[in-house]
Amino acid sequence: MLTILKSGIQTCIQDLGRMGFRHLGVSQSGVLDQLAAKSANILLSNPKETPVLEITVGLCQFKFNKPTNFAITGADLGAKLSGQPITAGWRYHANEGDILTFSTSKTGLRAYFAIQNGFSSLPCVMNSCSTDIQAGFGGLSGKALSDGEELDYVPNSVLNSIGAALPEYTDTIRIIAGPHIDLLAKDKQQCVFEKSWQVLPQSNRMGVRLSNDIDLTHDLSIASQGVCPGTIQLPPNGEPIVLLNDCQTTGGYPIIGQVIEADLRLLSQLSAGQTCNFVVVDRSQALEATTQQLQHLAQLEIAVQHHNKKNS
């Protein structure tokens, strides 16, 4: 068992998401930083879709009640294993009774904690174990984890440590211009892409809310249409919302852009008060960015397999 001693701000069970149900109004859910979560599972030779714990902000503690190997990726939230600092991007071995703690960070928001062979007996809802906190299902009872809850896992013997360097987190977010950007005056369109945006405290897994000194207030109305993670909506108050995995499936606000899939991980790591900039790219550049991430994961998988074979 893994005992949650302190659950922190928001620690929840997530996998790669609940796909194929948006036509029924069901959100995607799933990890916000897919590259980090997949990397954690690859380090442990788990299938990439194995559920992990997504830790937001940190300030949490876990107790290992059986020996196992684990990996931490994503933001460096000051993790320690029984008081000894450990580094994000590596796999480690925990003995029975070891305590894993996370402090917090000013430069990143979410870390991913994976266990070798995954957690046992998690309920699957619509082909996913992901927690949909808004709808209240998936994970454990549809909620973020609470103090005292336990997750079971199969014990494992020691694996040699191995680490991986993830692509850096930056504050430059690549987007494709949205279908309604031309509804804005030309000077305001330029400002969207030339000025920095600050993340607001109201941001969560549904969306990142942004603000700056540009007046983008409007009374525009469009017919409701499908939206997805990465869609940049512009409400009447002029403060854009970049939708994330727990977002609704339709919306009636003008869409001024779409964050490319490869860069959603960057947005997911921005805390309130941090800033970002948008850069417009085309479809081919967006596809190339995704291809580069897939190649990175493939290279990591080969490296881990080689390392495990060499040390077996």
3-class secondary structure, 163: strand
Q: Containing H/E element for 91? A: strand 90-94
Beta bridge partners of 52: 14
Q: Give pTM, 2 decimals.
A: 0.95
Right CATH for 172-281 from 2.40.100.10, 2.40.50.180, 3.40.50.20, 2.40.50.140: 2.40.100.10
In the chain, CATH 2.40.100.10 covers: 172-281
Give the per-residue pLDDT at 164. Answer: 85
Opening angle at CA 271, ends 72 and 296, nearest 5: 45
pLDDT given at position 221: 81
Tokens representing 27 are 């959100």
Task: Give the pLDDT confidence of 54-81 residue by residue, as tens digits.
Answer: 999 999 999 999 999 999 999 999 999 9
Tokens of 12: 């929840």
The CA distance from 132 to 22, in Å, is 13
Per-residue pLDDT of the chain (312 residues; tens, 9 = 90+): 999 999 999 999 999 999 999 999 999 999 999 999 999 999 999 999 999 999 999 999 999 999 999 999 999 999 999 999 999 999 999 999 999 999 999 889 999 999 999 999 899 999 999 999 999 999 998 999 999 999 999 999 999 999 988 889 999 999 999 999 998 888 888 888 888 999 999 999 999 999 999 899 999 888 899 999 999 999 999 999 999 999 999 999 999 999 999 999 999 999 999 999 999 999 999 999 999 999 999 999 999 999 988 877
